[in-house]
Amino acid sequence: MERLPEQVMQALRELLAEAPEYRVGQALAIATARTTGFFDPFSVEDAALLKALQQLTAEARARKGLLFPKEGSLEAYVAEPHDGLLFGWIFNLAQWGHRPLALAAFAVAEPCLGIWQYGVPEDAPWQHHFANAAEPAAAMKALRQWLADPATPLEPHLKPLNRLIVKSNLIASDPAQSDERIGKRQRCVAAGQVLLHALNAAAWTPEQPTQGAPGEAERQEEAATRPHWEAWEAVRSFLAAHPEASEQSVREHVRRVVLAP
């Protein structure tokens, strides 16, 4: 694979200039997760890392002008036609608090459970070890209960689901499999990542510990924006799991959940 150290470093400098709240390691970890789904910079090629850094920079530039003063209700906001960036539409949900972000993540997670369970029905080993695992369905059941009762504990589901998704990602690209089967497995992994992001978005609390923040201001920034990013990454993974889906379909899923009686 082609090495692009100078281009990657320049892209990293541009990102840090646009988003000074990021630390170097944090920026690299987020960019890597955009490519692989996991925070491991050793597992991504330079070209993919460069593209992810450039995308993060574009989002940081766009984000500066996205938020607008809250006017009207959340229901009116999601019901109105919106032709702008999906990224901004999701981030603006935070103006009505944490719950709308969790609702948005849940909205795209709901249709992903079926992909996880039935995405590769002819793949017996995958079905046995991953598709039939209890963790994803248990997590979605807990999320549905949380929507009705926010006191429902979600933390017990986080580590088991994360372990399962990490393992599935490692197995998905087994070179012994055909390209078609690898593609189907990777779609299932993306669906699983949606479930994990939705669970993280709902489980967030302001007191949740942050790791590696050098100071109180950085810690508060990281803690405050975590549910925004979990909701957005859930949307991104949903689009990867549903390659036929459009940004408009994401909005329709979110509207359905937010406007549900």
The 10s digit of each residue's pLDDT in 64-111 is: 555 444 567 899 999 888 877 888 899 889 889 899 999 999 999 999
Predicted local confidence at residue 32, as pLDDT: 77
What does the alpha-carbon distance between residue 85 and residue 92 come to, in Å, rounded to a whole number? 11
d(CA 105, CA 43): 26
Query: Domain extents for the chain?
Result: 1-65, 77-258
pTM over 0.85: no
Q: Lowest-confidence range among 47-61, 63-77, 133-147?
A: 63-77
Whole-angstrom distance, CA of residue 67 vs CA of residue 93: 10
Give residue 23's pLDDT: 76
> Which among 133, 256, 163, 146 is positioned nearest to 198, based on CA atoms?
146
pLDDT tens for residues 166-219?
A: 999 999 988 889 999 999 999 999 999 999 999 999 998 866 655 544 455 555
